Amino acid sequence: MRSRARDFWARVTEGLEIEQLWGQFRAEAEASYGLYSKDVNWDVIRSEKKRWKRPLLAGWALFQTLLMKLSPARRVLLLVAIVLLVVQPEIHTGEAQISFSLGGLGALILFLLLALELADRVTMKRDLEIAREIQQWLVPNDPPHVPGADIAFATRPQNTVAGDYYDAFTRPVPGGAAANTGPLIIAVADVAGKSVPAALLMATFQASLRALAATPASLDEIVAGLERYARAHSLEGRRFTTAFIAEIDPVTRELRYVNAGHNDPILRRASGQIERLSTGGPPLGLPLFTPEEIPYQSSRVQLQPGDLLFIFTDGVVEAVNQSEEEYGERRLLPCLQAAPVENSAADVLRRVMFDVNSFVGQVRQHDDITCLVLRVTA
């Protein structure tokens, strides 16, 4: 019997300790509270002169918000269940005056509502898992084998699907040259927003970049093409995209890049010196300029053996811990500088991800996290 109980408990908890379970519950509760509280008019509650009424008004407002997120039929069922649980009316039958409390019926209705909501969640989760599989097809599982370059990347979506994008591939060379001998394209992008809408735009961004890179277009022309597409599908700037796109000559090791409103990548030289790659322009898709005025500029950097390029999305530096403190670049930069020069790109990536995870702890992730590391080898 005890063995069965232990096995059941292990399945339920998935091997997590009580402290981990509590941390997970607290993170989920905080996220749920944020979902409901954003629809509450807190100014009205704070304007109440009688302070003792404010908690009651806040509770009532949160309850109404929760209620209105259900379908009409489920709202009625929830209200009926609450009335039955609170009032617990009794029914008397027969000459023996047998009484039945309807409080149990209220509990049964609540369980039914839970089952219905869980079924919806499972169905949506299954659809999102399919969307995630499709999204994973659009980004590389393994880095390309390019002479003189060691590449590693990782992404961790906030939800099942993400609006972050990373890629590394070689451009085709005219004349039927051998594979992986053309210029190397590396890209990291972040679509404004989260979940499915952002993921759909990420997919179109990937398709556009791959299509443009397959032509003889220069890097400047590729960025201009991406800007035209992003502007046409940005919903008046609400779905803009930040991106860092670079092209590396495999022979000269010259890197040419455009930074379109993205977090400035970190270039750690073999000497330990830090450089930031910031030349570019605004995020793609922002209707700030006419197509003729878009001020995107490219810049060139000469890479040397031992140099390390770290490209990341804002989910890395904006990761927060339980004290609502951001990880920030003041932690990221020392982490990168402390990495030994001989470490592989994968080792550096693991080092950074471990440092971010240790800082965050059990706090629920609030944004997609993506990193790409390129190390120049001899």
**Token reading at 153:** 């990347």
pLDDT at residue 262 is higher than 80: yes
Backbone angles phi, psi at 370, to 5 degrees: -140, 135
Q: Which residues pair with 255 in a beta bridge?
A: 248, 301
The verdict on 151 and 286 lying in the same domain is yes
Task: Identify the bridge partners of residue 291 per DSSP, sorted by sequence position.
Answer: none
71 shares a domain with 212? no
Domain count, the chain: 2
- For the cut 60, the answer to whether the pLDDT of residue 362 exceeds it is yes
Cα 14 to Cα 330: distance, rounded to the nearest angstrom: 35
Burial class of residue 33 in the structure, from the number of CB atoms within 10 Å of its CB (0-12 exposed, 13-18 middle, 19+ buried): exposed
Query: Domain range holding 271?
Result: 140-376
95 pLDDT exceeds 70? no
Together in a domain, 156 and 241: yes
Domain end point (choices 107, 131, 155): 131
| End residue of a domain, out of 131, 165, 194 | 131
Do 33 and 93 have their domain in common?
Answer: yes
Tokens 């811990």 sit on residue: 321
- CATH number assigned to the domain comprising residue 222: 3.60.40.10
Q: What is the pLDDT of residues 275-334, one digit of tens each?
A: 999 999 889 887 766 556 667 899 999 999 999 999 999 989 999 888 889 999 999 999
How buried is residue 248: exposed, middle or buried, by Cβ count under 10 Å (0-12/13-18/19+)? buried
Sheet arrangement for strand 369-376: 149-156, 369-376, 308-312, 266-268, 274-276
- What count of Cα atoms within 13 Å lies in the side-chain half-sphere of residue 239? 19
The pLDDT score that the predictor gives to residue 126 is 73
Distance separating alpha carbons of residues 206 and 202, to the nearest angstrom? 6
Residues 188 and 226 in one domain: yes
pLDDT of residue 153: 92
Structure tokens that stand for 10 in this block: 């292990």
* 39 and 20 inside one domain: yes
Which of 358, 294, 293 has the alpha carbon at shortest distance from 322?
358
> Do 83 and 160 fall within a single domain?
no
353 and 210 belong to one structural domain: yes
| 245 and 297 share one domain | yes
Tell me which of 131, 164, 195 is where a domain ends. 131
Cα–Cα distance measured from residue 231 to residue 284, given in angstroms and rounded to the nearest whole number? 7
Q: Both 180 and 122 in a single domain?
A: no
Per-residue pLDDT of 194-214, as tens digits, reads 666 777 778 888 889 999 999
Q: Are residues 108 and 176 both part of a single domain? A: no
Q: Give the per-residue pLDDT at 371.
A: 93
pLDDT for residue 120: 81
- Percent pLDDT > 70 in the chain is 87
- Evaluate if residue 250 carries a pLDDT over 70: yes
Euclidean distance between CA atoms 84 and 100, whole angstroms: 12
pLDDT recorded at residue 178 = 56
C-alpha 41/C-alpha 54 separation (Å) is: 12
pLDDT in tens, 26-71: 777 877 887 788 888 888 888 888 888 888 888 888 888 888 888 8
Q: At what angle do helices 345-360 and 329-338 cross, to 10 degrees?
A: 140
CA 215, CA 106: separation in Å to the nearest integer?
65
In a shared domain, residues 87 and 190: no
CA atoms of 167 and 147, how far apart (whole Å): 17
Helices 18-37 and 53-68 cross at an angle (nearest 10°) of 90
Q: Give the type of residue at 353.
A: M
**According to the model, what pLDDT value does residue 219 have?**
93
3-17, 250-264, 297-311, 319-333: the lowest-pLDDT one = 3-17
